[in-house]
């Protein structure tokens, strides 16, 4: 088995993924887009989403260009082929810069393709609901599958091709850094956009004027639907693309040195270990394709069951394919190498199982038919403040089982293969990301479909079918968020290990022990703990500021033109879309700058070891913030919907208004700050590794201030 053949397998898998994404795009676009009014509403949504992404990509182009220039002049990382230690030469860093640009462009392409099909699928899914639940489900799910397969395809093609050309994971790390920098923009910007519109629509349309969900008289309705696409399809897709690539690269970087495994490792064995994460992801892609087929075949009248069944079966299929791929790859290895490769296979399966546990923990704490959400709904009977207290408390409680899942995964995988095992658990957790992203992108498509069904006057029976699809989508999104948070945390832990390994390669003993009694280490950890809190505050305040402008605009339209409320004249949707677009793009700049400048500043001032402690602190506090906010927000949302279904008095009551307050608080929690922390952690971890050679220029890694 020669080198090109192994890489070609992953490359072919990536090409198949892109081909299937294009095929699903064809299947979606050939469906009936519905009546004239439906197409008009869908046109507003599509135009708003495209306008937003075009403006965002222009800003991203400047950001990516500046970082590319910075990377070009960073010390160029080279791996000594004899000692496998890292050296840096005084030359332009062309390889890593090009890899960075490819990663950035790849992430933007995946986000654009997924969003494009999403805005085409929504009206077709709504029209499909006039035929049957299964028809509406199929169209929406195929639309989501385009995003899922695009993410995996671009990632596998990019990583395998770059490693084939430049067989050094440190160079390929630039690809991951490019994907992460774009993901941060898209996740933060999309999150601010969608919640600006959603909060404004709820506070005025629902709470003040008692308008139904997705009522066409509400000026923020279209902006809210646009936000679902740019936030939950393009944004979440970029987020998981980012984590997926980072998990592969982190494992590859560790495999390239392997100083911690006491085995007799040959040069060929080192290569197999380095490429093994890519091969497992190829197995995961095949599992996702089979899972997507199964979901489509079992959709019928129970979409929620179909989505969950597809996820479970994808997991089982991945376990079988991981064993098969490992059987092939052990050929030519010695006994110790073979045993270790089987252990790594087990680590990847453990990681995937941990991801499933985290996903369904989020499901338990957010579903309307579970105890936590029901308790929150009942708390609304006591008033607005009690709803907030209840949701916040259950959000904190949900951190505990999620943390236990991560800890157990770390314990078992470390016992099997030390830190390399933990890295492989992250790879395994994200192996079926094609299925996970497909499920996630399905959610906003059916959410939009429900809105179009109402605005297109398709009747109550069709709206009820769309509601069933939307309910399954809400559950899928909750599971995806839990999965994404867990995967991101294992990924950044693996990146932390690889960062420490690379630092010791450059200067042995640089990061031997992170002693918290050392003031530099303590300061680094303390700053790291604080950054996720600062980041979350900036994003939530951004939503609050923009939502206030949106609220004023909605009130202005209602007061200046009473015919909007009677339905005689249409609301000015373009104005609210413009508010959400400009506000979100303006507000995402500072959080994006912080993610790069703060870790670099810590490394310059307090040293490379302090930066390692900074990453550890950020990982731990970021995990708590992300889980708490995502689950609390999801539960507040579903508690409100449960009341709107006629429970505890139903719509228009004081109980309902209290639940709207909870949902309004939860919106930026679950869709802006919570999931964006994942991307923040990955970007900061990658920044630390990318700038490591530069940081070594300051006191040989000790920093400007050393206590």
**Residue from 80, 76, 77, 79 nearest 92 by CA:** 76
pLDDT in tens, 659-674: 988 988 988 898 888 8
Give the pair of three-digit tokens for residue 401: 């089982």
- What does the block give as tokens for 399? 């951190």
- Within the chain, what is the greatest distance between any pair of CA atoms? 80
Within 24-112, strands assigned E span 76-79, 86-89
Which range of 211-225, 434-448, 527-541 scores highest in mean pLDDT? It is 527-541
- Retrieve residue 682's tokens: 């990955």
Cα Rg of the chain, angstroms: 24
Residue 634 near residue 365, CB atoms below 8 Å? yes
Query: Are 380 and 387 spatial neighbours (Cβ–Cβ below 8 Å)?
Result: yes
Nearest 5°: the CA angle 425, 431, 432 is: 135
2 or 64, higher pLDDT? 64
Query: Whole-angstrom Cα distance, residue 148 to residue 432?
Result: 10
d(CA 639, CA 642): 5
Q: In this structure, what token pair is assigned to residue 73?
A: 């002049």
End-to-end Cα separation, the chain, in angstroms: 52
Tell me if residue 228 falls in helix, strand or coil.
helix
pLDDT at 81: 42
Between residues 641 and 484, which one has the greater pLDDT? 641
Considering only 82-91, 568-577, 580-589, which range has the smallest mean pLDDT?
Answer: 82-91
Judged against a pLDDT cut of 90, whether residue 364 lies above it is answered with: no
**What's the length of the chain?**
707
pLDDT one-digit tens code per residue, 384-429: 999 999 999 999 999 999 899 889 999 999 999 888 898 899 898 8
pLDDT band at 445 (very low <50, low <70, confident <90, very high): confident
- Give pTM, 2 decimals: 0.87
Helices and strands (H and E) in the chain: how many: 23, 2
pLDDT recorded at residue 506: 67
pLDDT band at 615 (very low <50, low <70, confident <90, very high): very high
Q: What's the chain's average pLDDT?
A: 84
Residue 348 has pLDDT above 80, yes or no: yes
Confidence (pLDDT) at 261: 66
**What is residue 258's DSSP assignment?**
-
The percent of residues above 90 in pLDDT, for the chain, comes to 19
**pLDDT tops 80 at residue 215:** no
Q: Which of 355-359, 601-605, 643-647 has the lowest average pLDDT? A: 355-359
Residue 529 has pLDDT above 80, yes or no: yes
Q: Is 563 exposed, middle or buried (0-12, 13-18, 19+ CB in 10 A)?
A: exposed
- Provide mean pLDDT across the span 640-651: 86
Report whether 186 contacts 238 (CB < 8 A). Answer: yes
What is the average per-residue pLDDT within 297-322?
79
User: For 127-179, what is each residue's pLDDT tens digit?
Assistant: 998 998 888 888 988 888 888 888 888 888 988 888 888 888 888 888 988 98
CA distance 294 to 348: 23
Q: 184 and 680 in contact (C-beta within 8 Å)?
A: yes
User: Is the Cβ–Cβ distance between 74 and 694 less than 8 Å?
Assistant: yes
| Percentage of residues of the chain with pLDDT beyond 70 | 93
């Amino acid at each position: 088995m020669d080198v090109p053949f192994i890489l070609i397998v992953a490359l072919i898998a990536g090409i198949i993924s892109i081909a299937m994404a294009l095929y699903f795009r064809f299947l979606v676009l050939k469906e009936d887009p519905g009546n004239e009014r439906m197409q008009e509403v869908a046109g507003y949504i599509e135009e708003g989403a495209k306008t937003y992404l075009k403006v965002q990509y222009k800003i991203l182009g400047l950001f990516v260009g500046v970082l590319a220039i910075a990377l070009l002049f960073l010390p160029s990382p080279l791996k000594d082929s004899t000692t496998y230690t890292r050296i840096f030469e005084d030359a332009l860093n062309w390889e890593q810069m090009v890899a960075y640009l490819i990663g950035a462009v790849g992430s933007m392409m995946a986000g654009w393709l997924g969003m494009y099909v999403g805005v085409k699928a929504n009206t077709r899914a709504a029209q499909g609901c006039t035929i049957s639940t299964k028809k509406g489900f199929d169209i929406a799910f195929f639309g989501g599958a385009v995003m899922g397969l695009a993410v995996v395809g671009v990632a596998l093609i990019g990583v395998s091709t770059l490693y084939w050309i430049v067989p050094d994971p440190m160079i390929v790390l630039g690809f991951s850094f490019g994907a992460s920098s774009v993901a941060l923009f898209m996740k933060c910007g999309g999150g601010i956009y969608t919640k600006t519109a959603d909060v404004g629509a709820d506070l005025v349309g629902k709470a003040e004027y008692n308008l139904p969900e997705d009522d066409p008289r509400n000026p923020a309705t279209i902006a809210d639907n646009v936000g679902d696409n740019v936030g939950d399809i393009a944004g979440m897709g970029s987020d998981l693309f980012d984590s997926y690539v980072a998990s592969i690269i982190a494992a590859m970087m560790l495999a390239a040195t392997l100083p911690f495994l006491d085995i007799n490792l040959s040069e060929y064995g080192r290569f197999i270990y380095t490429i093994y994460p890519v091969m497992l992801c190829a197995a995961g892609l095949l599992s996702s394709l089979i899972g997507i087929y199964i979901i489509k075949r079992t959709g019928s009248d129970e979409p929620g069951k179909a989505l969950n069944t597809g996820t479970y079966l994808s997991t089982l299929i991945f376990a079988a394919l991981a064993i098969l791929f490992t059987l092939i790859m052990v050929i030519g290895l010695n006994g110790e190498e073979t045993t270790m490769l089987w252990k790594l296979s087990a680590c990847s399966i453990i990681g995937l199982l941990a991801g499933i546990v985290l996903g369904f923990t989020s499901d338990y704490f957010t579903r309307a038919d579970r105890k936590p959400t029901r308790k929150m709904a009942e708390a609304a009977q006591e008033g607005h403040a009690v709803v907030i207290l209840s949701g916040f408390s259950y959000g904190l409680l949900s951190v505990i089982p999620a943390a236990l899942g991560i800890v157990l995964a770390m314990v078992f995988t470390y016992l099997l293969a030390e830190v390399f095992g933990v890295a492989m658990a992250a790879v395994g957790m994200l192996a079926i990301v094609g299925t996970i992203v497909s499920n996630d992108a399905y959610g906003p498509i059916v959410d939009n479909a429900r809105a179009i069904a109402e605005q297109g006057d398709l009747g109550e029976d069709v709206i009820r079918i769309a509601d069933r699809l939307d309910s399954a989508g809400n559950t899928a999104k909750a599971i995806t968020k839990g999965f994404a948070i867990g995967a991101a945390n294992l990924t950044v832990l693996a990146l932390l290990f690889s960062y420490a390994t690379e630092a010791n390669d450059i200067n042995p003993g640089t990061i031997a022990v992170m002693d918290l009694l050392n003031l530099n280490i303590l300061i680094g950890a303390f700053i790291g703990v604080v950054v996720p809190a600062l980041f979350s505050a900036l994003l939530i305040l951004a939503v609050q500021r923009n939502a206030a402008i949106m609220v004023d605009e909605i009130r202005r339209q209602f007061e200046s033109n009473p015919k909007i409320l009677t339905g005689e004249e249409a609301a000015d949707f373009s104005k609210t879309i413009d508010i959400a677009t400009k506000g979100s793009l303006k507000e995402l700049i500072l959080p994006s700058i912080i993610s790069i400048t703060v870790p670099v500043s810590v490394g310059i001032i307090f040293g490379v070891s302090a930066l390692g402690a900074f990453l550890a602190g950020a990982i731990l506090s970021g995990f708590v913030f992300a889980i708490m906010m995502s689950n609390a927000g999801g539960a507040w949302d579903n508690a409100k919907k449960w009341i709107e279904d006629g429970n505890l008095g139903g719509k228009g009551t004081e109980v309902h208004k209290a639940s709207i307050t909870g949902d309004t608080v939860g919106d930026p929690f679950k869709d802006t700050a919570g999931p964006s922390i994942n991307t923040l952690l990955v970007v900061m971890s990658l920044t630390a590794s990318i700038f490591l050679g530069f940081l070594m220029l300051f006191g040989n890694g000790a920093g400007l201030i050393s206590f």
